[in-house]
């Protein structure tokens, strides 16, 4: 059976730190004839281009929350996806779905780029509809997208008391499911919606023990999930494969960050099932099994 029809690619597995090997948070989900993007962090358009996915070809962009590292790639995605056919020349409005806050963000982006849009309509004769944006907001757990057999369910997560709203997503297609935690502390809702998923993609943060007493480190850790906590989520949700994205490696000028090996070792204290530490352009095919491959066209490591 051809199961190449449900695929997930990590476009960006990083954080606000502007490094070239881990771009800002963004995940591409391809299901049947549809292409969905979860968050659009820094460089999402570059990664799509590396995959030869036309930037204007996305069916919908889903936002988890409004930290800038998850949204700074939106104007690039929106406007570059409207350019000539090489990029897809979107002729329909960009569809954005997110918790409350999406409308104000997108309305102000439209204002910020109004001159570019009017100039290109006049000068390049680009289709005005392709520069339009349609926004749908939600404010509770539930189905937020249901089209051609692809169902997306939003579920609230806990990114800290001040960082609301914050949501994760469960994407279902043809009897299979992929779940993305979004940014969150250890949260029961991820276990509830992640239960039995084929692929559960979770954020994670790790700090060297010597740094854990530092207030600025404690503040950041209080917004995220430790590896042992993520292991507990995986152990209870029992996905076919667990994967990390949004890898937060904390460090200071004196103390270097932990490593991916440290992250995996910490996770193994609470979870002994299949686990992968994500990298940019890592690809998962969701079939009877979940298979993993590195995208061959990647330019850098
Ligand atoms: Zn965040
Ligand atoms: Zn984040």
Give the pLDDT confidence of 41-92 residue by residue, as tens digits. Answer: 999 999 999 999 999 999 999 999 999 999 999 999 999 999 976 677 798 9
What CA–CA distance (Å, rounded) separates 156 from 72? 22
CA of 17, nearest ligand number: 2
**pLDDT greater than 70 at residue 195:** yes
Tell me the two tokens of residue 15: 């954080």
Phi, psi of 295 (to 5 degrees): -65, 125
CA of 248, nearest ligand number: 2
pLDDT of residue 16: 95
Q: Which residues contact 118 (CB under 8 A, 6 or more apart)?
A: none
pLDDT of residue 258: 96
CA of 166, nearest ligand number: 1
Tell me the two tokens of residue 132: 């339009």
Give the pLDDT confidence of 96-118 residue by residue, as tens digits. Answer: 999 999 999 999 999 999 999 99
105 CA distance to ligand 1 centroid (A)? 16
295 CA distance to ligand 1 centroid (A)? 27
25 CA distance to ligand 2 centroid (A)? 7
Stated pTM of the model: 0.96
**pLDDT greater than 70 at residue 301:** no
3 CA distance to ligand 1 centroid (A)? 33
pLDDT of residue 1: 42
Burial class for 220, CB neighbours closer than 10 Å (0-12, 13-18, 19+): middle
257 CA distance to ligand 1 centroid (A)? 19
What CA–CA distance (Å, rounded) separates 60 from 181? 18
- List, in sequence order, every residue forming a beta bridge with 37; answer none if it has no partner: 28, 61
Active site residues: 69
Give the pLDDT confidence of 212-269 residue by residue, as tens digits. Answer: 999 999 999 999 999 999 999 999 999 999 999 999 999 999 999 999 999 999 999 9
Return the H-helix or E-strand segment holding 29: strand 26-31
Ion ligand 2, residue ranges at CB < 5 A: 67, 69, 183
Judging by DSSP bridges, how do beta strands 150-156 and 167-173 pair with one another?
antiparallel
Give the pLDDT confidence of 161-185 residue by residue, as tens digits. Answer: 999 999 999 999 999 999 999 999 9
pLDDT of residue 295: 75
CA angle 183, 61, 97 (to 5 degrees): 80
CA angle 145, 40, 134 (to 5 degrees): 45
């Amino acid at each position: 059976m051809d199961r190449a029809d449900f695929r997930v690619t990590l476009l960006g597995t990083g954080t606000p730190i502007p490094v070239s090997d881990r771009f800002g948070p963004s995940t591409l989900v391809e299901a049947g004839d549809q292409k969905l993007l979860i968050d659009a962090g820094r460089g999402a358009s570059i990664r799509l281009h590396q995959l030869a996915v036309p930037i204007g070809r996305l069916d919908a962009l889903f936002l988890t929350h409004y930290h800038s590292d998850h949204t700074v790639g939106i104007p690039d995605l929106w406007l570059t996806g409207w350019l000539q056919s090489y990029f897809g020349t979107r002729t329909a409005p960009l569809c954005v779905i997110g918790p409350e806050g999406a409308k104000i963000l997108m309305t102000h982006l439209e204002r910020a780029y109004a001159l570019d849009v009017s100039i290109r309509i006049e000068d390049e004769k680009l289709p005005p509809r392709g520069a339009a944006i349609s926004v749908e907001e939600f404010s509770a757990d539930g189905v937020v997208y249901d089209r051609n057999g692809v169902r997306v369910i939003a579920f609230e997560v806990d990114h800290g008391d001040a960082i609301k709203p914050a949501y994760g997503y469960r994407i279902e297609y043809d009897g299979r499911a992929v779940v993305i935690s979004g940014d969150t502390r250890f949260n029961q809702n991820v276990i509830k919606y992640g239960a039995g998923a084929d692929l559960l993609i979770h954020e994670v943060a790790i700090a060297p023990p010597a740094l854990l007493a530092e207030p600025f480190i404690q503040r950041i850790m209080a917004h995220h999930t430790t590896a042992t906590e993520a292991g507990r989520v995986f152990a209870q949700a029992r996905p076919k494969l667990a994967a990390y994205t949004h890898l937060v490696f904390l460090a200071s000028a004196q103390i270097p960050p932990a490593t991916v090996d440290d992250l995996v070792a910490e996770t193994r204290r609470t979870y002994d099932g299949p686990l992968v530490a994500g990298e940019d352009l890592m690809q998962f095919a969701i079939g009877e099994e979940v298979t993993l491959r590195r995208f061959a066209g990647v330019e850098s490591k």
